[in-house]
Every structure is written in structure tokens, then in C-alpha cells.
Amino acid sequence: MTRRWTTAALSVIPVVFLGYLFVWPVSRILATAGLSGFAEVIGDPRLRASAWFTLWQAGVSTVATVLIALPLTSVISRFSFPGRSLVRAAVTVPFVLPTVVVGAAFLALGVEGSALAIIVAHVFYNLAIVVRTVGSVWSRIDPAPAEAARTLGASRWRAFREITLPLLRPSIAAAASLVFLFSFTSFGVVLILGGLRYRTIEVEIYQQAVTFLDLPTAGALALAQLVGIALVLVLYTRSQERRAVRFKLIPESASLRRPATGGQWALVFGVVAVTLGAQLTPLAVLVGRSLRGGTAGWAFLASPGNLAVRPLEAIGNTLLFAGVAAAIALTIGLLSATVLARSRGQVSRWFDIILMLPLGTSAVTIGFGFLVALDRPIDLRGTLVLVPLAHALVAIPFVVRATLPTLRTIREELRDAGAVLGASPSRVWREVDLPIVARAAAVGAGFAAAISIGEFGATSFIVRPDTITVPTLIFRLLGRPGAVTYTGAMALAVILMVVTAALILAVDRVRSDALGDF
């Protein structure tokens, strides 16, 4: 009984947050749009084709991302080697880059105009989700059972399939669900690399709402997008409940080992070199472009004249927003994941789905929803507060998905033992759940910060006061012709990469310093 009440109490803040910032604005904008657009949407073969493309490219992108990420994740999670944390930080860098910039790099590499280009770009963007989410569990699985199986004659593959894989499955599914949502609502990548023949529902919503000012059709598409995402999430949450396996996670320090044989060194080196090579090539193109014609672009950033370009201020704002957004996302996300790990059944399943929905909702829907809904009780429209709140809204699914698989491994006896010994529920959480979940929470917080730094998805349509961040500054510079504005924009993209890599390294470092290497 008390347990149920505690769970209910924990869910108050997340429910209010999501209700006010997601459910209410989205319902208001859908109500404003009305239902009259449905006939047009269903009757239009082009829109139906876009819906189908959205679905299949998201599916293929997800499978491709998982398959390509797993070898790297396996190497990073089992072996300690020099530069390991650098590799983990490096794969996260693409995550924050504006699609205009990445699109330019891919076009320069000759990748364009096909569905394949879109999928390659999705893998490029989303690799980090799998590497980091799955890695936070894999590096803490006790290798002893798999080694025992090998001793008993099981093949390497069989030991993986029957012992390690079942334990990894929840976190692979969690990561895959995030990749799917991202690919499902992909916008900039599809526009730039799709050769203009491929369109996602997200692109259609943008075009209907913004170019044609046809709100009823945009509303019908937005509702279709929401329903589609919700259906996929229903299947996902069901599969997750059945699959949860409770097992003991061990500290990373006890599971990681140095490559012992020449073969293992070759494996580590080969996998890291191939994956990072592919991942870093587009980034190298950007560095090259920032240096086209010497260092003029960098010099321009240092003294841009009267152009309202203040890179330092932009970096400061970006980091401030990222910090606040990550803190909000971490608070709400951990509360939500704790509630989900403790409860089962219909209500918690829907709570889980609604938590994920902001990631699968069109940027236009959320941005316009804020405008029509957030004028009361106090008028938040056009205020700075909305920026980190919107970033957090999109980042919460990452914290939840990163932490839930770990929280679900915690055996109830541990908590019960604490309670029997007289610890309060909050003390049990602090001393049992928190240390175990800290690493996964840091992964979630890192993504939350990265989402905020990259300012993409649902956050790009928020009307806010004149505040420069690094991505908005890149857009400003790209919007006008000229050598130094172009190389200056590329130089800023390079700064964005470095800042992100440094931030992710710092988050990883702080986590292991503050909480021990659990």
C-alpha cells in the first residue's frame, strides 16, 4: 500500500511537466487545426507514399544503426585500451551538428540523392545512441558465465547468443526505440540528402503548415504521426515488460580487461579504426572546409565587424542552456524511470508511451502548440524559460531509456533488505538504486546536454527572445553569400564539435570520480 502511494507521489512532477508542456499544447494545436484535413490526407497518394517511406526508412535506419554499432559497443565494453573514453566521446559528436552542416559534408563526399544516403546519415547521427546506451550495461555484465560456457565447449557465438545477448536485449531495444523515433521524425537530413524525391511525414507537416499555411492538413498529418508513433511504442513497451531479466551488474573495473593476445589487439584496433574512420570522415571534411583559403574564417569569428556575431557569447549561452536542460531532464527522467521500474500494468504502460512521444512529435506541432497553449496561467510564450524546458522535453526519453534497463535489473530483495533494516524509502533509493543507476543516468544526461547543444527536433520552432546559440549562429552565417561567412560557419561547427567532445569527456569523468566506478 505505502509502496503504491510512494510510486504515485513520485509520478506527480513528471505528470504535471508532461501534461503542461506536451499533452496540453499538442491537444490545443490539434483542436485548432480541426479534423477537416483527414479526407485530403487519406485521399492523397503522395502523402500516403510519404507515410510509407517514413515508416520503412525508420525501420531500416534502426536495424542498420544497431548492426553497425554493436561490434564497436562490444569492443568498447569489454576491453580497456588507450583512448577508450575519447572514442566514446567522439561517436557522440555528430549528434550535435546542424543538418545543414552535415548535409554539406555528405554532399562533398558525393553521397546524395537517394534513400541510401538518408539511411547512411541516420546511422552517422544515431550510432552514439546504441554505443552509449547498450555500452552502459554491457561493460557491467559479469564475463564469468560466458567464459564458463566457453570452457564447457560452447562456441563464441553461442555463448554470446545464449548468455550475453538476453541480458543486453532490453538496452538494445531501448536504444533502437530512440533511433527509430529520431529517424521517423527526420527532417533536415531528408530534405538535403533525399534528392527531393523522398519525404517524411515531418517534411510534409512542415510544408503544409509553414509553406502552404494549411493548418487542417498539417494537423491531420501531425495526428497521424502521433498515432503511428504511439502504435510502435505500444508494441515496444509490451515486449520490454516481458523481457526484463533481473541480474547483478558488476563494476566496470571488474569486467574490463586489457586485450591479452595479438589477435585481441587487432580486433580492438580494427573495429575502432573502421567505425571511427567512417564516422570521422564527414567531420574531417568540415574541418577542411573551415580552413579553405587559410584561416580567414577563424579570423572572421574573432573580429566579425558589425555582424552581431559573438562566438563566445553563443558558446556561453549554449552551455548554460545545456546544463539547465540536462538537469531538468535528469530530474524528471529519473523520477519517471523509477516509477516505471516499480510499477506494471496499463497505467504505467501509457505513462511510458507518453514520455516517449515528444521525441516522435513534429517540431512544428510542439512549437505551434506552445504558442496557442502556454499563455496561461502566466504567459510563457516568447520567454527564455521555454528553451531549456523544450530541450528537456525531448531529452527526457533519453534519460528514461538509458536508465530503465538498469533500474529493472535491480533485484527487489536489495530494496527490501534496506527497508527491513529501517531505511526510509528515499534512503533506499539513494543507497541502492542511485549508485547502480548513476552510470546510465550520466549517459542520459550526456545525451540531454547534446540534444540541447544541437538544438534540433522539437526545439527548433520555439519562439524565444534574441539569444544567440552556436547552432543559430551557424544558420545566421550560412544565410549570406561570401567567403568568410561560409568558412566562419564551418569554423563554428568545428568549435561545436570540440566543445561537445570536451563536455562528454567531462561528464564521463565527473561521473566516475563522484560515484566510484560502479
HSE-CB at 137 with a 13 A cutoff on CA atoms is 31
**124-163 footprint of another protein as x/- string (CB under 8 A):** ----------------------------------------
Residue 63 in contact with another protein, rule: CB under 8 A: no
What does the block give as the cell for 90? 567522439
CA-atom Rg of the chain in angstroms: 23
Return the closest-CA partner of residue 128 out of 100, 156, 87, 177: 87
Residue 191 in contact with another protein, rule: CB under 8 A: yes
Minimum CB separation of residue 221 from another protein in Å reads: 14
Residue 416 in contact with another protein, rule: CB under 8 A: no
- Applying CB under 8 A, the site for another protein has a residue count of 64
Place of cell 560502479: 518
Residue 291 in contact with another protein, rule: CB under 8 A: no
What 3-state DSSP class applies to 257? strand
Within 10 angstroms of residue 75's Cβ, the number of other Cβ atoms is: 22
Residues 6+ apart with CB under 8 A from 89: 500, 501, 502, 504, 505, 508
**Stretch binding another protein (CB under 8 A), from 147-155, 173-181, 270-278, 383-391:** 383-391
**Stretch binding another protein (CB under 8 A), from 58-66, 99-107, 235-243, 278-286:** 99-107
Residue 210 in contact with another protein, rule: CB under 8 A: yes
Secondary structure percentages of the chain, helix, strand, coil, to 5: 80, 0, 20
What does the block give as the cell for 56? 520503412
Distances (CA, A) of 356 to 336, 413, 423: 11, 30, 33
What does the block give as the cell for 88? 566514446
- Out of 418, 485, 491, 495, point to the residue binding another protein (CB under 8 A): 485
Minimum CB separation of residue 109 from another protein in Å reads: 11
Residues 6+ apart with CB under 8 A from 51: 201, 224, 228
Minimum CB separation of residue 313 from another protein in Å reads: 12
Residues 6+ apart with CB under 8 A from 479: none
Interface of this chain with another protein, residues 429 to 468, rule: CB under 8 A: 434, 460-461, 463-466
Residue 307 in contact with another protein, rule: CB under 8 A: yes
Place of cell 580497456: 80
**330-369 footprint of another protein as x/- string (CB under 8 A):** xx-----------------------------------xx-
Do 325 and 453 contact (CB within 8 A), yes or no?
no
Residues 6+ apart with CB under 8 A from 458: 358, 359, 361, 362, 363, 366, 367, 390, 393, 394
Residue 196 in contact with another protein, rule: CB under 8 A: yes
Minimum CB separation of residue 191 from another protein in Å reads: 4
Residue 273 in contact with another protein, rule: CB under 8 A: no
Residue 34 in contact with another protein, rule: CB under 8 A: no
| Cβ nearer to another protein, comparing 6 with 383 | 383
- Out of 308, 417, 502, 510, point to the residue binding another protein (CB under 8 A): 308
Residue 312 in contact with another protein, rule: CB under 8 A: no
Minimum CB separation of residue 290 from another protein in Å reads: 13
| Cβ nearer to another protein, comparing 82 with 305 | 305
If residue 441 lies in a helix (H) or strand (E), which one and from where to where?
helix 434-454
Minimum CB separation of residue 477 from another protein in Å reads: 8
Return the closest-CA partner of residue 478 out of 100, 192, 49, 63: 100
Minimum CB separation of residue 394 from another protein in Å reads: 17
**Which residues lie near another protein (CB under 8 A)?**
29, 32, 100, 103-104, 107-108, 191-192, 194, 196-197, 207, 209-215, 293-294, 296, 306-308, 320, 324, 327-328, 330-331, 367-368, 371-372, 375, 379, 381-385, 388, 434, 460-461, 463-466, 472, 475-476, 478-487
